[in-house]
Homo-oligomer: A and B are copies of this chain.
């Protein structure tokens, strides 16, 4: 009954699902308070102004305007509001025509990849990376080419990147700030990537699309700047989601930006708009599009301090206990070196101490584990003795 393409997803899914089930089982046995689940990237900080926005649009918009069909690209007024906000923040020059509202960033990546990939085309990603990219590229019979991780800095290995670009390279996906490392690619890095891409485009006579997946853009700490890629490279597109900045991942709302500078820009905008319909989304959910407009006009974002406090607490404690990890400048993840080579073994040991983390092999980077610190400050506090015991068990403590 099941198609050949779906079978590998089902096998992999079972492994991750087993971990979630284990978390539920443990919570039932030991009590939810005594299980420290750092496995999921589900935001935990409510944004009350989102509720105000919902009440406002329900009150002020006509029913059929608010809930009816609009262009497959989304409401023009919403797209124009976002365009102007980006222009103000990043000195860009977008209009609503450059924006397509999407069912989260995941659909955004899919409509871009559907629009540009022919079977056998290559898409470059940098380990560690969000493994769903594999699925998105395979949806269109593309092949993922992985650049190995620089485990010192978790910045992209540019030599390997340059060497692996071929005539078949159609796209490059970066995720900035990064899941799972929390690292932010700085301006120098983006400029260097752009120079390599331009050189290779000339060499092969091709167009290579740099896709920047940016659901964590607003989650950067201590004044760190996340460069806006379209300013540095002509064939750059941005996929965004409000899941993290407004704590609404369930609502599936985001957008794609395709600048005029992109090769065949009008055709790509047209194709991506049609792809939004063809893949079955039709359009981004309508009410929440209007909610986004309200939130931009009222400058609403999640309270970053909560995540920054969490980061400082857990990063400080873990490094004090002897764990090794790159200091995350953004997102809400910590990518910690496993004290033993096989990090799945480490995950099992952590589990004995009621700590749930995700093995790095799920991000194409074995030997590490990912902690999602989008949990309550109290959960982190309660979990620290467990982390200390784990560190002691491995003889990490100084």
Contacts and interface: CB of A to CB of B under 8 A. Distances in A.
Interface in A246-272: 247-253, 262-264, 267-268, 270-271
A360 interface: no
Q: How many copies are assembled?
A: 2
A263 B63 contact: no
Most buried by B among A68, A207, A248, A277: A68
A46 B58 CA distance: 13
A385 B3 CA distance: 54
A51 B251 CA distance: 17
A40 B70 CA distance: 11
Contacts of A264: 1-2
B278 A135 contact: yes
B110 A250 contact: no
A394 B275 CA distance: 40
Q: How large is the interface on A (under 10, 10 to 19, 20 to 34, 35 or more residues)?
A: 35 or more
A139 B5 CA distance: 12
A110 B280 CA distance: 6
Contacts of A278: 6, 9, 132, 135-136, 139
Contacts of A63: 46-48, 50-51, 247
A227 interface: no
A388 B243 CA distance: 53
A9 B282 CA distance: 14
A285 interface: yes
Interface of A: 1-6, 9-10, 13, 40, 42-44, 46-48, 50-51, 54-55, 58, 63-64, 66-70, 103-104, 106-111, 114-118, 132, 135-136, 139-140, 207, 209, 247-253, 262-264, 267-268, 270-271, 274-275, 277-288
